[in-house]
Amino acid sequence: MATSPNTPVPQVAIAPEAVVEPRKFELLRSLASGGIANTISSIVLNFSDVAKVRSQCQKQAMASNPNLKPIYNTFTGTMRVIVKEEGIGGLLLPGMGASILRELSYSSIRLGLYPIVKRAIGTDDEHGDVGLAPKIAASLMTGALGSAIANPTDRIKIMIQQEAGLVDPKTGRYITGLAKGSKPSFNGTFAAFVKIYRTEGFLNGLYRGVGPTVVRAALLTCGQMASYDHAKHLFKRHGILNEGFSLHFSCAIIAAVVANTMCAPADLVKSRYMADRAGASPVYKSAIDCLIKTVRAEGIRGLYIGYTASLYRLGPHFVATLPALEWIRKNIFGLDYV
């Protein structure tokens, strides 16, 4: 049937297509994914951090108190001693509050910023990979930045874990641990921040040890993220594994060994120097002084005290954190895999 030129043609309403903004709030989503994944792992594995710090700081405590005898030897032996003397809570809980605050700041930055910085400084090749050099550079930068900002939480965590022990209700003094015979320095995490600031100051107190902390974090993040990311690329490129849990799990194990080996000396110096007090008679004048005295007294092997304890911590930590990070990024925040 013919229609008149003046007859209006009915219009069909077309719904506008949804605008997809994959980069919207990407920074916040990426920061949140890194913080959440690491916080969960740190809560579960805090016991290994407690054992590591005790074993690393034992000789330092003995230098300050000649009455102390070495009781923390191997990683498992240290845990057994702590549980025997202080109960399971003495192994699981010290420094937990500070550890959570640390991960929500430090790990949010280093793991959340890494993929963004990597893309910003690198260009994809024919395989869709930016190459190893941008990964190393991005991980070094984000690790250093995160640790520099979160240094106060790291200092408080180590000091609480180093001096933790059972307190005699009658005398108010420790009867176990490295601070045996002394009164507790802190009544809680936030009280520790206030006391350190008032007694030692901002730079000498809360930011004591920032140098070795930044070095350690840069090396740790480089060993963790650059090796993990590049191992993933190589496994996928050569058809060994496809993207998924098996790939994430396998590469996390590789990352743990690489990261622990790279940062062990800096980790020991950081723990000893941070646990030292900036009062009238500190054991170490600086981080470099701590490094020199450790090598002179204990040799190069002394820098790797706590290596096994650290690996026992980093291994499960990475195996839990990195697959969780990938899952959270993809399924909760709608981001790409690392």
User: What pTM does this model have?
Assistant: 0.81
Give the pLDDT confidence score for residue 243 in this predicted structure.
95
DSSP one-letter code for 332: I
pLDDT band of 249, cuts 50, 70, 90: very high
Give the pLDDT confidence score for residue 333 in this predicted structure.
95
Dig out the tokens for 202 from the structure.
């901002």
- The length of the chain is 338
CA angle 74, 78, 83 (to 5 degrees): 150
DSSP 225-275: IIHHHHHHHHHHHTTS--SSHHHHHHHHHHHHHHHHHHHHHHHHHHHHHHH
* 53, 271 Cβ separation under 8 angstroms: yes
Going along the chain from its start, the domains and CATH numbers come out as 26-332 (1.50.40.10)
- Give the C-alpha separation, 326 to 335, whole Å: 9
Quick one: average pLDDT of 282-307? 90
Give the pLDDT confidence score for residue 15 in this predicted structure.
44
pLDDT in tens, 87-120: 999 999 999 999 999 999 999 999 999 999 999 9
First-residue to last-residue Cα distance in the chain: 62
- Give the C-alpha separation, 85 to 166, whole Å: 8
DSSP one-letter code for 24: T
pLDDT in tens, 264-276: 998 889 888 888 8
What rounded mean pLDDT belongs to the chain?
90
